[in-house]
Amino acid sequence: MCIGWTGLQAKTESDLAEWDYGDYEGRRTSDIHKERPGWNIYRDGCPGGEIPAQASDRADRLIARLREMNGNIALFTHGQFGCVLAARWIGLPVIDGPHFLLGTASLSILGYDPDHPDIPVIVLWNGRSPQESGSLHYPLIGDNRTMRQRAIERWENEGGEIPSERQANHG
């Protein structure tokens, strides 16, 4: 369910819906890459589902309505569309969506530069509660095990060291 919340009034907002995966619904990214190496939802969209221009249009419609409202507004949406919304908020194309890593149940704040109120900014991105701040949780689309392994390999290849569970949880 995707909800927008203003004041004490909550309502379902169809423009906050999850990306329509069409023929790719329920499939892992790693399996899609076997058929379509290099596939990128933000560039290629999904056959039988939503294309990037449609996701961009939804975000733009929502942003236009948000900019007409006053006060703080809470939105709850899905990860990939949240990344599209962030990109479009600051004027970037949908293809830049993957640069906004968005964790499950994280807090992000879109706003305006206080010194330049006509410039939209990302005030907070992917905020976590203090209890989760030490975790290594990221939104992994598709094959979580493969994505985690890639992250570990990248860390090790760059001379890093994988922290033990104790180090990760206790600093």
CATH number of the CATH domain containing 8: 3.40.50.1240
In a domain, 160, yes or no: no
Instruction: Give the sign of the dihedral formed by CA 8, CA 9, CA 14, CA 20.
Output: positive
In a domain, 59, yes or no: yes
Task: Indicate the number of domains in the chain.
Answer: 1
- Each residue's pLDDT, cut to its tens digit, for the chain (171 residues) gives 344 555 567 778 889 899 999 999 999 989 999 999 999 999 999 999 999 999 999 999 999 998 888 777 888 888 899 999 999 999 999 999 999 988 888 888 888 998 998 999 999 888 875 555 444 444 444 444 555 565 566 556 555 554 544 444 444
In a domain, 153, yes or no: no
User: How high is the pLDDT of residue 148?
Assistant: 56
CA-atom Rg of the chain in angstroms = 18
Domain range enclosing 38:
3-140
Distant-in-sequence, close-in-space partners of 109: CB < 8 Å, separation ≥ 6: 122, 123, 124, 127
For residue 51, give the 3-state DSSP assignment.
coil
Instruction: Give the sign of the dihedral formed by CA 35, CA 96, CA 162, CA 155.
Output: positive
DSSP 145: H
In a domain, 111, yes or no: yes
- State both tokens at 168: 């990760």
In a domain, 12, yes or no: yes
User: How high is the pLDDT of residue 24?
Assistant: 96
For residue 85, give the 3-state DSSP assignment.
helix
User: How high is the pLDDT of residue 37?
Assistant: 95
User: How high is the pLDDT of residue 83?
Assistant: 95
User: How high is the pLDDT of residue 51?
Assistant: 97
CA distance 124 to 10: 23
CA atoms within 13 A on the CB side of 156: 7
User: How high is the pLDDT of residue 143?
Assistant: 45
In a domain, 63, yes or no: yes
User: How high is the pLDDT of residue 131?
Assistant: 52
Distant-in-sequence, close-in-space partners of 170: CB < 8 Å, separation ≥ 6: 134
